[in-house]
Structure 1
Amino acid sequence: MSPLLRSPLAGSGPDLCYPLLLNASCRLSFRPRFTASLLYMLTFSLALLTVLLNLLLIVSISHFRQLHTPTNLVLLSLAASDLLIGLVLMPLEAHYYISSCWFLGPWLCYAYYMLCYVLTSASVASILLISLDRYLAVCQPLRYTSEVTMGRVQLAVGLCWSCAVVYNGSLLVVNTRGPPRRTSCQGECAVVVDGSSVLLELLVTFLAPISTVVALYLQVFAAALSQTRKMRSSRAAAAGGTVARRLELKAALRLGVVVVVFLLCFFPFIGFMAQEVSVNSAAWFWGAWLLYLNSCLNPLIRATVLH
């Protein structure tokens, strides 16, 4: 795959990002005022909604002791990454696409890309932990109660975030050797990543964990169907145990919705990376915002599985 390169929208008008630099400056995009205003309103409204919903979920899990469970701890990790996406990435992505100018300098451009990679990796890792948690709860309940503890889940979440920071930081440092300077004009935010690194990123961050998620949930759904049939046909089971198993199955199925929505929102983004779609094209923009929409939908879905 060719390098990931963010560049300004093609335009022939005289408006420049930095008028004093003349030929060295990138050009502003030319959009009708109504179109630009509508895009700003939609994207920033979605960003605000994402922040508020995830903040509400984080406060709820943190405040109520009965919600301090291993499953909800992983949901808390996912909500934290979604909150940062709405708070930082959505506004910056919207403004940069609509205006085609980056006014925050090379270091913040570098930080933006770093945060984008880290939050994406952390989200995928959290989805993987959710799938593993539900697999153990439904398919191996005895092992789940003895081995899945708050301490171990906290360690797993911490390792996921640490690995996301170290891996993606190393990837960007190796490819950029510092803040991005290889720009065609002033007002551009560009990070160049070679093809082998992009393939490694696709494999490590997306394909391997997502394949594992799908495999785990196929087993969860198969086990859920099997156990549902057994509970319907067996009258000898204890009432309390039957109720507990039903709750676990319902939680697994509802968390399955989280996973399915996640996959639907992520697949277009993965396809654009693999097919060399321009990072500043309209297709990439809407693909990225479909990915961001997942961060807004997640807290609405996850609120139904808190227990």
Structure 2
Amino acid sequence: MFERIIMEDNTREIQYCFPNNNLSCIREVKPEVEYIILYILNVSLSVFTVFLNLLVIISISHFKKLHTPTNLLILSLAVADLIVGLIVIPLMGIRFIESCWYFGEAFCLVFSFLVFTVVQASLGNLVFISVDRYIAVTDPLRYTVRVTNNKVIFCLIINWLSSTTYSVIIFCDALFYPETQDRCYGECTVTFKYEYAITDLIVTLVAPCSVIMSLYVKIFCVAKYQAKFVNSVTGASRSQRKAAKTLGIVVVVYFMCWIPYYIVILLEGYQSTESVEFNITCWIVYINSCMNPLIYALFYRWFRISAKHILTLKIFKPSSEYLNLFPEEN
């Protein structure tokens, strides 16, 4: 009897992701209450992220007054965040909660590739946003000539294509030589060569951070100079500086969410994906995808007005796309 109890306890403690597969990973068993709480949090974060970014996407797409170069960049960033909320957060949540990957080896690689591409595209969007704000603040008279919707659309296409190409290069071994990935069945991790890891660190953190920060230092120096020495500042100039400040906050929040992740990666290595620190920093990164719409809601009155019209279904009224979202201009 005593031996039977010991055997039952052992079967509870050790479970496998795929019991019928000899190469299966071990499944971590959690208390039922913990499962419920984690799934509620995961679903809530996913729905919240999708909902907020859909508001941004619908607002900019629907209302004609929001069809500006800067807002097109914001739209592209919202699309990347929407993908995170719609695909990345739910699947990574299941993987974290169940400690198993149930969606197959092939989809694991496709999923990892998608995550990588979205991250690169988001960084590219932030770089273009910084350049846009730099031109708007330092050369406001020629801004409308130098920065147009067509030029921004071209830059966004290049950004997404470059992100995809870079991801293919980084994932070359994993995509075309999957046998090089040493992992048990039910695990979804991708290991990189050391030189790829260093290259990725430079491309995805050091280089864009240096460019963005240097541009924003110049932006705020110019803005401070204008505020100090120009007595009659036009409404347009004030608007450009406010936009630069708001988008600067977006950039700072982005790097605040990503830097802890890269610190953990440097300390633990790209192959360590089970530590508490790694999982915490990953979820901080995912939370960043719902932060941008909240920043827009705090600082952009047009976003609050457009969101109100969307939620009350007033966008279905005739000519609603021509609504004036900037009543202070009248």
Identity of aligned pairs, percent?
38
Letter aligned with residue 270 of structure 1: Y
Letter aligned with residue 17 of structure 2: C
Correspondences of 1:47-66 after superposition (within 5 Å): 47-66=46-65
Q: Which residue pairs with 1:8 in the alignment?
A: none
| Contact 2:113/2:167 (<8 A) preserved | yes
Correspondences of 1:185-196 after superposition (within 5 Å): 185-196=184-195
3-state DSSP of counterpart to 1:275: helix
Pick the aligned partner of 2:294 from 280, 291, 300.
300
| Contact 1:75/1:302 (<8 A) preserved | no
Computing the radius of gyration from Cα coordinates, the structure with the larger value is: 2
User: Are residues 1:225 and 2:224 paired?
Assistant: yes
How many Å apart are 1:138 and its aligned residue? Answer: 0.4
How many Å apart are 1:24 and its aligned residue? Answer: 2.1
Q: Which residue pairs with 1:83 in the alignment?
A: 82
User: Are residues 1:136 and 2:135 paired?
Assistant: yes
State the number of aligned residues. 289
Between 1:56-65 and 1:25-34, the stretch displaced more is: 25-34
Pick the aligned partner of 2:237 from 245, 267, 271.
245
User: Are residues 1:112 and 2:111 paired?
Assistant: yes
How many Å apart are 1:215 and its aligned residue? Answer: 0.6
Letter aligned with residue 165 of structure 2: V
User: Are residues 1:164 and 2:158 paired?
Assistant: no
Letter aligned with residue 115 of structure 1: L
3-state DSSP of counterpart to 1:50: helix
| Contact 2:174/2:180 (<8 A) preserved | no
Q: Which residue pairs with 2:15 in the alignment?
A: 15
Letter aligned with residue 84 of structure 2: I
How many Å apart are 1:124 and its aligned residue? Answer: 0.7
Distance in 2 between residues matched to 1:178 and 1:111, nearest whole Å: 14
Between 1:67-76 and 1:200-209, the stretch displaced more is: 200-209
| Contact 2:123/2:208 (<8 A) preserved | yes
Between 1:243-252 and 1:32-41, the stretch displaced more is: 32-41
Structure 2 residue runs without a partner (length 5+):
1-10, 303-325
Q: 1 or 2 for the larger relative contact order (CA 8 Å, sep ≥6)?
A: 1
Pick the aligned partner of 2:274 from 259, 271, 280.
280
RMSD: 1.8
How many Å apart are 1:64 and its aligned residue? Answer: 0.2
The change in CA–CA distance for 1:167 and 1:12 in structure 2 (over 3 A counts) is farther
Distance in 2 between residues matched to 1:150 and 1:182, nearest whole Å: 43
Structure 1 residue runs without a partner (length 5+):
1-10
User: Are residues 1:206 and 2:200 paired?
Assistant: no
The change in CA–CA distance for 1:174 and 1:25 in structure 2 (over 3 A counts) is closer
Distance in 1 between residues matched to 2:208 and 2:158, nearest whole Å: 15
How many Å apart are 1:174 and its aligned residue? Answer: 3.5
Distance in 2 between residues matched to 1:230 and 1:291, nearest whole Å: 40
Distance in 2 between residues matched to 1:111 and 1:56, nearest whole Å: 28
Distance in 1 between residues matched to 2:82 and 2:236, nearest whole Å: 32
Distance in 2 between residues matched to 1:53 and 1:126, nearest whole Å: 18
3-state DSSP of counterpart to 1:101: coil
Correspondences of 1:83-102 after superposition (within 5 Å): 83-102=82-101
The change in CA–CA distance for 1:12 and 1:229 in structure 2 (over 3 A counts) is farther
3-state DSSP of counterpart to 1:47: helix
Q: Which residue pairs with 1:257 in the alignment?
A: 249
TM-score (norm 1): 0.89
Distance in 2 between residues matched to 1:205 and 1:158, nearest whole Å: 19
| Contact 2:109/2:175 (<8 A) preserved | no
How many Å apart are 1:12 and its aligned residue? Answer: 8.8
The change in CA–CA distance for 1:140 and 1:12 in structure 2 (over 3 A counts) is farther
Q: Which residue pairs with 2:311 in the alignment?
A: none
How many Å apart are 1:182 and its aligned residue? Answer: 3.0
Distance in 2 between residues matched to 1:300 and 1:100, nearest whole Å: 31
3-state DSSP of counterpart to 1:24: coil
| Contact 1:81/1:122 (<8 A) preserved | yes
